[in-house]
Amino acid sequence: MNKRFFITTAIYYVNGQPHLGHAYEMVVTDVIARSRRSLGEEVFFLTGLDEHGQKVQQVAQAEGKSPQVYCDELAADWQAFAKKLELTNDDFVRTTESRHKEFVQAILAKLHAAGQFYKKTYNGFYSTKEETFLTDKDRLPDGTFDPAYGEVIELEESNYWFKLRDHQQWLVDYLEANPSFVQPDYRRNEVLGFLKNRTLEDLCISRPASRLNWGIPLPFDKDFVTYVWFDALVNYISIPAAHGDAIVLAAAKSEIRNPKSEIELWPADIHVIGKDILKFHAVFWPIMLKVMGLPLPKQILVHGWWQKEGAKISKSTGNIVDPIAVIDEWGLDAFRFYVLRELDIGPDGNWTDTGFKARYQAELANGLGNLVNRSLSMLKRYRNGIVPAKHDEPSAEAQKVIAETRSLLEQNQLQAALQSIWVLITRANQYVDRTAPFKLAKDPAQATRLDEVLYNLAEICRVLAVLLWPFLPGTATKIYAQLGLTGAPDKFADAAWGGLKPGHKIGEPAPLFPRKDA
């Protein structure tokens, strides 16, 4: 059996509703998943929810609900949100599910038996907001802690610790030998800088149940629950285990039997995450996997953070983008297009309402929408919707864009791929203006030339549907339907020039991106 291309998002804290940043990460991951499928790979796309820990317990308490009831209610909203974004995820993990909890306990028991944990009493600083222990090394030059840590208290507490520090040099060597492990490069350099400038502290993997009980009990000491990150990161292997992945099942040597199917997932091909959780994924996670005896994920792909109108997204100040409201007003593909076209994977981005409307108008309505609508309407009007004989005037240009897009998709360069596709759209609109089929149609002596132009335009629309499928699946499907083609434009190989058959009758043209008067 072949290993699938396994791609994941981070799993989301259920302490609120999904926002723009979460939607962005999900859409980026979905586009990569769809493009790999289109390129012929078998893909497994995993997303889901991180339901344990203090953040979730506190919100549940504030709402007067048990954490489980609270999580169940919100999980329904998040699952509906994934559908709203038309994510093609193959599973949706919730860390409160027994398939995950049992696996976490199996791993913990195994590592404990192997002597990887020790118990010690800690006396020092603690950030409740970030659920993390701090040392003097975490202080800013002025002696304070970063405000991101919220209130920092002094604490004395007994806990279990994981021997991270033994692996520091191994990790540095690994990062240096594997430049594509963390991408973009500047994020890899950030991790290397962090590792070279300080000695790694061991990682506290428990919290006393007396202080926090919303977590997975340690299998070897019921007075403690698992630290939320040791629980959350493991979702990337607990779900493969639940699907019968032999490599991770062997690593856990667990009692989990009778997996439903047998598919090979691990190691993950890509973990898509945001910049704030880089240390967890590029330092803690590789070391955890190493001691479990598991191969490392092939790549950690790190995206930046969104702001809105130049300021931090924040519920309390009301500076938010509600993805659902945007989608209801403008359509899903307009939302997907804006976030993917506006922001490359890596730097921070800034949502502006005027920028969103400008892209909608210029690139979607006047660019893509206008091209498809006038091309198919003219074919309908002048040739009764029947595709004329094949022609290949723009084929070299189309092939160039097809090859470029393929290579960019293989490198997860989503923004650049859209730019490349839009070169074809712009050139095709210029081709309409230059050849002026509406004039050719008035001169019977130009009938053959009109046939050529109409074939070329319809074929460009077909090629575009295939290229756009991973990004704008609804629009791509509509273009196919308007061309009278059945099935989905979901195979990249179909982008090759000349697929439209002479004599084929197209469907009904209709505007893809209705004009908005505002």
Applying CB under 6 A, the residues found at the interface with ligand ME8 are 10-13, 21-22, 24-25, 50, 232-233, 273-274, 276-277, 305-306, 313
User: Are 91 and 76 spatial neighbours (Cβ–Cβ below 8 Å)?
Assistant: no
CB of 274 or CB of 369, closer to ligand ME8: 274
Min dist CB 314 to ligand ME8, Å, is: 9
> Would residue 34 be called left, alpha or beta, if left means φ above 0 and alpha means ψ between -120 and 50 degrees?
alpha
* Residue 489 CB, nearest approach to ligand ME8 (Å): 29
Task: Rank residues 26 and 440 by Cβ distance to ligand ME8 and give the closer one.
Answer: 26
By beta-carbon proximity to ligand ME8, the closer residue of 21 and 470 is 21
Q: Which is nearer to ligand ME8, 26 or 418 (CB)?
A: 26
Task: State the minimum distance, in angstroms, from the CB of residue 22 to ligand ME8.
Answer: 5
Shortest distance in whole angstroms from residue 392 CB to ligand ME8? 43
* Sign of CA pseudo-dihedral 222, 226, 231, 234: negative
Block residue for tokens 């149940």: 209
Would you say 194 or 305 has its CB closer to ligand ME8?
305
Q: Which residues have C-beta within 8 Å of that of residue 464, sequence separation ≥ 6?
A: 368, 371, 372, 421, 424, 425, 476, 479
Q: What are the residues facing 206 on neighbouring strands?
A: 226
Identify residue 55 by its one-letter amino acid code. Answer: K
* Strand ranges across the sheet with 117-127: 132-134, 117-127, 152-162, 203-204
- Pair of tokens at residue 203: 């990682």
- Which residue's CB comes closest to ligand ME8? 274
Percentage helix, strand, coil for the chain under 3-state DSSP, each rounded to 5? 50, 15, 35
Task: Output 50 or 459, the one with its CB closest to ligand ME8.
Answer: 50
Which residue, 192 or 313, is less far from ligand ME8 as judged by CB?
Answer: 313
Q: Compute φ and ψ for 92, nearest 5 degrees.
A: -135, 110
CB of 278 to ligand ME8, least distance (A): 9
What is the chain's Cα-based Rg?
26
The torsion region of residue 169 among left (phi > 0), alpha (psi -120 to 50) and beta comes to: alpha
- Give the shortest CB-201-to-ligand ME8 separation in angstroms: 20
Q: Which residues pair with 5 in a beta bridge?
A: 43
β-strand partners of 124:
155
Nearest approach, Cβ of 411 to ligand ME8 (angstroms)? 21
Structure tokens at 8: 């994941």
Q: Which residue, 148 or 396, has its beta carbon nearer to ligand ME8?
A: 148
Between 10 and 461, whose beta carbon lies closer to ligand ME8? 10
Give the C-alpha separation, 386 to 502, whole Å: 7
Spatial CB neighbours of 10, under 8 Å, sequence gap ≥ 6: 25, 50, 271, 272, 273, 274, 277
Rounded least distance, CB 281 to ligand ME8, Å: 7
Which CB, 313 or 423, lies closer to ligand ME8?
313
CB 313 → ligand ME8: shortest distance, Å? 5
Nearer to ligand ME8, 269 or 459 (CB): 269
SS (H, E, C) 358-394: HHHHHHHHHHHHHHHHHHHHHHHHHHCCECCCCCCCC
**CA–CA distance from 361 to each of 345, 354, 357 (Å)?**
24, 11, 6
CA atoms within 13 A on the CB side of 474: 17
DSSP state, residue 293 = T
Nearer to ligand ME8, 235 or 477 (CB): 235
Q: Which is nearer to ligand ME8, 220 or 305 (CB)?
A: 305
Q: How far apart are CA 286 and CA 174, in angstroms?
A: 10
Amino acid letter for position 402: I
Instruction: Output the smallest distance, CB 195 to ligand ME8, in A.
Output: 20
Angle, CA of 471, 476 and 479, to the nearest 5°: 155
